[in-house]
């Protein structure tokens, strides 16, 4: 306390406001009269407190994170190291092209590699994340039809689509119509054809789809969409199953967004950071957002184009995009190379099928009896008669040190649990997950009433999640 009072006296003595800015020379009213109520604890206790708090968090570095459709793979630290280099971290986007040739070169080469991987002709790295990339791609399609004088007011999406698909379409002013999923888990192509007419601007689709299945009729889908005068949009959330193996452009897609923070192993979660580049065929290339990065072979320099193209949709965010994320993706791409990217996709598919086969005796894969791609969906519906739901199983997993998978998505599956192991997990980790899921299954048979209490090992067990969303207490 004496030290505090001494410091208080120093503050009082040295606190100075120039005369021309002073409202009052009497500052005593602003000086604390009582010591602040600060805890008197040692540095060691402070370190232990915050270290233990951090250990309560789930992350890919600490726990298995089979979050379906999110591709929570391990983030190579070499990419983080590159992003922290002062030569990149200190570059400001307002510098001249001459002063940031290295950064422009990395962005340009990243865009060209992504174009090659997707079979597209043009790219923009500007969108901040996947949903932003969707919005940008649909905005390009809208501008194209406006420029060509075609009246289009509808976008089609599968009933199993990511929720950002209809949102992106509606934010661009389109009406949304849902296309049914067949019993085989694929797009009901007859329902699609029935809804394709002259008012449709685009059909948004991810392949593999959100059930983790490859759309085997994709060429017929693309042909039908194009014959109707519409465009085919590729949601890149599930590219991790096919990268380096098959290209969206070869399937017939006209525009694609990618999630660099999923497929190309840059950290994500907690609201960011993200990057959602948009890539397109030549027909949509004039509408790409600016600035664009171009390479001039004659002078061996990289330059930016800021709106010289009159058909551009303009900027969709500031400057070039999320450069540190793009840089991490660049490092990942050049480290793996084309063969490494392909092998990562093969292993992601292998890991998912391994898990699905191991679990099918205890849980119900949807649809059953088929191979999946990089992820699969199981249903907890058969446990509802014991008053155990997907939500309860997810909570139980936390006590075993495993992050719950995505639950209640896709919406076409009752009590859905979507599991995506990614390629970076070992067989030991996968086998441990299987063992845990078996233990949970046995507990459901023996003592289902216990599942209303899980998790038991966390500081807070079950919160009112609806109230937390509607009435967030940000000061607690």
Query: Has residue 69 been placed in a domain?
Result: no
pLDDT at 115: 98
Q: Are residue 46 and residue 100 in the same domain, yes or no?
A: no
Query: Has residue 60 been placed in a domain?
Result: no
pLDDT at 24: 53
Query: Has residue 374 been placed in a domain?
Result: yes
pLDDT at 414: 96
pLDDT at 267: 76
Q: State the pLDDT confidence band at 123, using cuts at 50, 70 and 90.
A: very high
Beta bridge partners of residue 304, listed in sequence order = 293
Listed residues 335, 356, 372: the one ending a domain: 335
Range list of β-strands (E), 281-413: 292-296, 301-305, 364-366, 376-379, 406-407
Query: Has residue 38 been placed in a domain?
Result: yes
Domain count, the chain: 3
Specify the CATH number for the domain of residue 455: 3.90.1150.10
Does 344 score more than 70 pLDDT?
A: yes
For residue 277, what are the CA distances in angstroms to 91, 136, 173, 290, 401? 21, 9, 22, 12, 34
Beta bridge partners of residue 292, listed in sequence order = 305
CA-atom Rg of the chain in angstroms: 26
Does 13 score more than 80 pLDDT?
A: no
Q: Are residue 295 and residue 385 in the same domain, yes or no?
A: no
Q: Are residue 302 and residue 249 in the same domain, yes or no?
A: yes
Residue position matching structure tokens 């078996």: 438
Q: How far is Cα 425 from Cα 415, in angstroms, rounded to an integer?
A: 26
Does 4 score more than 60 pLDDT?
A: no
Specify the CATH number for the domain of residue 162: 3.40.640.10
Query: Has residue 67 been placed in a domain?
Result: no
Over residues 197-220, the mean pLDDT reads 97
Q: Which two tokens stand for residue 444?
A: 């459901």
Query: Has residue 21 been placed in a domain?
Result: yes
The domain of 410 spans: 339-470
Of residues 210, 225, 216, 274, the one with CA closest to residue 75 = 274
Helix (H, G, I), strand (E, B) or coil at 398: helix
Listed residues 279, 311, 335: the one ending a domain: 335
Tally of residues, the chain: 476
Over residues 393-399, the mean pLDDT reads 96
Query: Has residue 375 been placed in a domain?
Result: yes
Angle, helix 390-399 to helix 427-446, in steps of 10 degrees: 120
Beta bridge partners of residue 203, listed in sequence order = 156, 232
* Phi, psi angle pair for 241, to nearest 5°: -85, -20
What share of the chain in percent tops pLDDT 70?
Answer: 93
Q: Are residue 437 and residue 318 in the same domain, yes or no?
A: no
pLDDT at 318: 86
Angle, helix 164-171 to helix 130-147, in steps of 10 degrees: 40
Among the residue ranges 251-260, 369-378, 398-407, 461-470, the one predicted with the least confidence is: 461-470
Contact 230, 142 (CB under 8 A): no
* Exposure of 384 in the CB half-sphere (CA atoms within 13 A): 7
Q: How far is Cα 90 from Cα 431, in angstroms, rounded to an integer?
A: 44
Q: Are residue 197 and residue 233 in the same domain, yes or no?
A: yes
Contact 130, 164 (CB under 8 A): yes
Listed residues 335, 355, 379: the one ending a domain: 335
Q: Which two tokens stand for residue 373?
A: 């791609």
Q: How far is Cα 341 from Cα 329, in angstroms, rounded to an integer?
A: 12
Q: Are residue 286 and residue 301 in the same domain, yes or no?
A: yes
Query: Has residue 227 been placed in a domain?
Result: yes
DSSP secondary structure string for all residues of 58-69:
--TTTSB--BTT
Q: Are residue 359 and residue 260 in the same domain, yes or no?
A: no
Greatest CA separation for the chain: 83
pLDDT tens digits for range 68-115: 999 999 989 999 999 999 989 888 888 999 999 999 999 999 999 999
Q: Are residue 244 and residue 379 in the same domain, yes or no?
A: no
Q: Are residue 392 and residue 465 in the same domain, yes or no?
A: yes
Q: Are residue 408 and residue 429 in the same domain, yes or no?
A: yes
Burial class (CB in 10 A: 0-12, 13-18, 19+), 335: middle
pLDDT at 111: 97
Q: Are residue 303 and residue 359 in the same domain, yes or no?
A: no
Q: State the pLDDT confidence band at 21, using cuts at 50, 70 and 90.
A: very low
Q: Are residue 197 and residue 272 in the same domain, yes or no?
A: yes
Residue position matching structure tokens 């983080």: 80
């Amino acid at each position: 306390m004496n030290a505090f009072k001494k410091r208080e006296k120093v503050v009082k003595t040295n606190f100075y406001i120039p005369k021309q800015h002073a409202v009052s020379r009497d500052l005593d009213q602003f000086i604390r009269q009582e010591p602040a109520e600060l805890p008197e604890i040692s540095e060691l206790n402070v370190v232990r407190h915050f270290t233990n708090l951090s250990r309560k968090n789930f992350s890919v570095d600490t726990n298995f994170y089979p979050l379906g459709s999110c591709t929570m793979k391990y983030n190579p630290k070499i990419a983080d190291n590159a992003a922290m280099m002062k030569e990149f971290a200190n570059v400001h986007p307002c510098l001249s092209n001459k002063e940031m040739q290295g950064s422009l070169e990395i962005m340009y080469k990243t865009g060209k590699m992504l174009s090659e991987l997707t079979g597209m002709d043009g790219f923009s790295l500007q969108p901040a994340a996947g949903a932003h990339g969707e919005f940008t791609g649909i905005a390009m399609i809208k501008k194209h039809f406006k420029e060509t004088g075609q009246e289009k007011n509808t976008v089609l999406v599968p009933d199993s689509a990511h929720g950002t698909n209809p949102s992106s379409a509606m934010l661009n002013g389109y009406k949304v119509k849902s296309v049914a999923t067949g019993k085989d888990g694929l797009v009901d192509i007859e329902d699609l054809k029935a809804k394709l007419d002259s008012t449709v601007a685009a059909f948004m689709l991810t392949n593999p789809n959100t059930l983790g299945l490859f759309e085997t009729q994709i060429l017929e889908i693309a042909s039908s969409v194009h014959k109707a005068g519409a465009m085919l949009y590729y949601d890149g959330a599930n590219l991790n199953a096919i990268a380096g193996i098959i290209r969206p452009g070869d399937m017939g897609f006209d525009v694609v967004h990618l999630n660099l923070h999923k497929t190309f192993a840059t950290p994500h979660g907690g609201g960011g950071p993200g990057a959602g580049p948009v890539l397109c065929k030549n027909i949509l290339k004039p509408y790409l957002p600016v600035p664009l990065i171009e390479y001039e072979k004659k002078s061996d320099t990289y330059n930016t184009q800021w709106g010289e193209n009159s058909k551009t949709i303009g900027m969709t965010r500031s400057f070039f995009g999320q450069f540190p994320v793009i840089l991490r993706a660049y490092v990942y791409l050049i480290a793996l190379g084309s063969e490494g990217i392909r092998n990562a996709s093969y292993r992601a598919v292998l890991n998912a099928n391994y898990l699905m086969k191991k679990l099918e005796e205890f849980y119900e894969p949807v649809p059953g009896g088929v191979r999946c791609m990089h992820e699969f969906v199981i249903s907890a519906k058969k446990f509802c008669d014991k008053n155990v739901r997907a939500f309860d199983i997810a909570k139980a997993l936390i006590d075993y040190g495993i992050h719950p998978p995505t639950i209640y998505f896709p919406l076409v599956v009752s009590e859905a649990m979507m599991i995506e192991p990614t390629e970076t997990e070992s067989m030991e980790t996968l086998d441990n997950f299987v063992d845990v899921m078996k233990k949970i299954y046995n507990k459901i048979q023996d003592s289902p009433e216990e599942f209303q209490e899980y998790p038991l090992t966390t500081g807070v067990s079950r919160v009112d999640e609806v109230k937390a969303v509607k009435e967030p207490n940000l000061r607690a």
